[in-house]
Structure 1
Amino acid sequence: MAILQKHGKNSGSDLASLREGDPDSFGPVGAHSQKKRAEATSYWPRPVARIWTAVLLLGTCLLYCARVAMPICAVTMADQFKWSKKESGMALGSFFWGYCFTQVIGGYVSDRVGGEKVMLLSAAAWGAMTAFTPVLAHFSSQPIISLTLGRFLVGLLQGVHYPSLASLCSQKVVESERGFLMSTVGSGSYLGTLVIGGAGSLMLDMYSWESVFYVSGFLALLWAYCMWKYLLKGEGPIITLESLGGGGTQPKMTRRNWLRLFKQPAVCAVIITHLCTASTFFTLLSWLPTYFKETFPDAKGWVFNVIPWLVAIPSSLFSGCLSDHLISQGFDTAVVRKLMQFFSMGVSSIFTLFLCGTNTFPMAVAFVSATMGFTTFSHSGVSVNVQDLAPSCAGALFGVMNTCGAFSGVIMVYFSGYLIEATASWTSVFALISLVNILGLATFLVFAEARRVDIDGLKARYHTIHI
């Protein structure tokens, strides 16, 4: 009797080569092969994937237009409503409190019923809430309370976007093209920040801060309608209790599987690294407009609100193409993910530290642009690594990651406001951001992997198979 031992980073392909010879002779292994072939047929054809990529890119762009509307208008609103730095930090950070609560449930529902349905419903809701924000401010005797509540609700509604995106990508996109899709769609965050930074600054100067919220909310509602009309063909995004409990597009993970999943060092590394990446990005996103306004008061808002994000867009696209190319050339997937994350957290931290010693506006814009450009490499690193590890529950697991990131974002945004007020210097904030990035990078470099760990069937990789 011959005994075949399974080893190596790409056990799925090894098992597939065995199954294809005689699936019936392997019992459950043959069934797993049929399941894999069924999953392959559910992937989008490339032309359809390209259309969805463009639509999701636009949706993420509008998501960030609504998200960044508050930081763009924060200085003007603080002057009008007489807010302190701590109150501004509370209003800015309230978004992330709401953002924490819907990540996991959004990913779970997306894994069960499809990410496109969850994304559509949430976009219609947060678009309406964004347009309604100025009304909350003007019809309340305590604008700080009503706006904090409003931003909390927007965060609550936007919290499902990225988990549903991760779920949709794992279900509909082949592995060799996921890096490109995630980096392209991820660049929508920078495109949205760019658009609202430029157009929002002009609207702020020419009209009022209210116009920024009105336009952002209306465009999100228009996107949701077009997605429903032309991609979903007018079908209602109906989510039933039956679809949540029994059916679904992915096999249901048991509690035992979830516990086993969270015991994996690679999964813990992804969560910790994403926590660090998200918290530092959210801090920069929230406070950079204020940093430029206070440090360089004569500078034009459209310059520092546009140029860094103009650099980030091609950088994100380049990272996706580079990672997919390296993997297609035979480089180990885990090594490629770590390389992308090294640029995202390691190299970007160098330029963040350079901000501590600069006192000229052009140099500050250059360093911020380099920081944001290299930060985008995380879309081809930790963000897509969750799909390598757990494609069957990528939405829910990404929700766990984003919950941790959003919670740390709340703490860092608020704590940064405290540091600025206590030290009267931005150096402490930039040093804190760099320290958090280095800790996250070290964790990822040591523990990250790219093998699949989400289903019991892959344990066969470590077992002996008798022939």
Structure 2
Amino acid sequence: MSQDFGWSKKEVGVVLSSFFWGYCLTQVVGGHLGDRIGGEKVIVLSASAWGLLTATTPLLARLGGAHLLVLTSSRVLTGLLQGVYFPALTSLLSQKVRERERAFTYSAVGAGSQVGTLVTGGVGSLLLDRYGWQSVFYFSGGLTLLWAYYVYRYLLSEKALLTALSVLAQGLPVAHRTRVPWRRLFRKPSVWAVVLAQLCSACSFFVLLCWLPAFFSETFPGSKGWVFNVVPWLVAIPAGLLSGLLSDHLISRGYRTITVRKLMQVMGLGLSGVFALCLGHTSSFCKSVAFASASIGLQTFNHSGISVNIQDLAPSCAGFLFGVANTAGALAGVVGVCLGGYLIEVTGSWTSLFHLVAAISHVGLCAFLLFGQAQRVDLSPAHEDL
């Protein structure tokens, strides 16, 4: 695409980063809407919109001569639409899934997303080589629209979807629980602990996501790209499912919920940070792939820890609270990626980047281990589940 339009590296960077700014802005809105009208409705409506926008992006890019402005605006809008997905999903699971089943359900959905990413990335690479960049947008957008239609066709009624559209158009509440207990939530150390842990988790993930391909390309220039671009994400799928099964099994056996959540975070933030640290201290390609796979795979344990802990704390407004935490995480991720690049340039070593990832991960882990709880905090003092 950049070659077609003659963009510089700076202009490419503007287009790539524009998605994340849009993604940051609708996390809280998506969660609040999920709490009010139902997460499944928010997911279907947003997926339909971003799928259509993605599929028509190549056509929009050809309208007029302002290619950079059109593509940047398109990516910002795509980020706005995709930003509601995980908060709405959190709201949906908190309302529909029992506590002892939440971890596996959330992990399974996360694994499904990773499968979709692998399929889109793998097929997209082939399409890019054979048919050009436009075909990638057509395929990705079409696949999203097909998924949204399947969810609508088999999981939603036309009446429910029309009601949701009417509510969005009129801006009217459809549930009695429309007020979020801001003061009650943010007076609790457990809420701040899970927000900080989510921030650190998202930041470390974004840093690895953005810099691992460059690390492998520069450190091992003769290596095959599909190995380090695919293997870690293949490992993440069974790792995520395993974490969900283990978490729910331990809770069903009588272990305290918060004990299980903290154990998952020891793996998801603690051990994954250790393996990220190992990446900066090996010169072997095979070991580097193994360490990267272990770090990415163990990060999926966060789904069974802090992600579902948000549902433990505030099931009535879990979407809103996840939106707050994920907004902070997305913004921290942007800062972390920039800081990582600065450290690499100043020190001339990739080791500093992986030290940064490990430090961020362990800060989040310490906060959650010290202050994390699983008792509900969205109830009035007279009704709190102590």
| Global fold match (TM > 0.5) | yes
- Which residue, out of 224, 240, 251, partners 1:300? 224
1:238 maps onto 2:238 in alignment = no
Q: Distance in 2 between matches of 1:164 and 1:440?
A: 24
What's the CA shift string for 1:161-210, capped at 9, x where partnerless? 01110111111111111111011111223223322332233333333333
1:100-154 Cα deviation digits (max 9, x unpaired): 1111111111111111111011001111222233345555656554433322211
Q: Deviations over 1:392-447 (max 9, x none)?
A: 11111111111111111222233334444555543332221111111111111100
Once the two structures are superposed, what CA deviation does each residue of 1:17-49 show, in whole Å capped at 9, x if it has no partner? Answer: xxxxxxxxxxxxxxxxxxxxxxxxxxxxxxxxx
**Which amino acid in 1 is paired with 2:293?**
S
Task: Kindly indicate whether residue 42 of structure 2 is the aligned counterpart of residue 118 of structure 1.
Answer: yes
Matched, 1:163 2:90: no
Q: CA deviation at 1:155?
A: 1.0
Q: Distance in 2 between matches of 1:182 and 1:458?
A: 31
Q: Are 1:91 and 1:144, in contact at CA under 8 Å, matched by a contact in 2?
A: yes
Partner of 1:192: 116
User: Is the Cα contact below 8 Å between 1:344 and 1:378 reproduced in 2?
Assistant: yes
Give runs of aligned pairs for residues 9-408 of structure 1, distance below 5 A: 77=2, 81=6, 83-84=8-9, 87-137=11-61, 141=65, 143-235=67-159, 236-239=161-164, 240-241=166-167, 245-248=172-175, 251-253=177-179, 257-408=181-332
Q: Which runs of 5+ in 2 are unaligned?
A: none
Task: State how many pairs are aligned.
Answer: 383
Structure 1 CA distance, aligned partners of 2:115 and 2:249? 24
User: How far apart are residue 80 of structure 1 and its match?
Assistant: 7.6
Q: Distance in 2 between matches of 1:359 and 1:206?
A: 35
Relative to structure 1, the CA distance from residue 461 to residue 352 in structure 2 (aligned partners, 3 Å threshold; closer, same or farther) is closer
**1:338 Cα deviation from its structure 2 partner:** 0.5
In terms of mean alpha carbon deviation, does 194-203 or 440-449 score higher?
A: 194-203
C-alpha separation in 1, matches of 2:89 and 2:186: 21
User: What RMSD, in angstroms, separates the aligned Cα atoms of the two structures?
Assistant: 2.5
Distance 1:428 1:206, change over 3 A: farther
Aligned-partner SS, 1:399: helix
Q: CA deviation at 1:87?
A: 5.0
Question: d(CA) in 1 for partners of 2:314 and 2:357?
Answer: 29
> What is the alpha-carbon distance in structure 2 between the residues aligned to residue 101 and residue 179 of structure 1?
27
User: Who is 1:40 aligned against?
Assistant: none
CA 307–442 in structure 1, closer or farther in 2 if over 3 Å, else same: same
Q: Which range moved further: 427-436 or 291-300?
A: 291-300
The 1:214–1:294 alpha-carbon spacing in structure 2 relative to 1, beyond 3 Å, is: farther
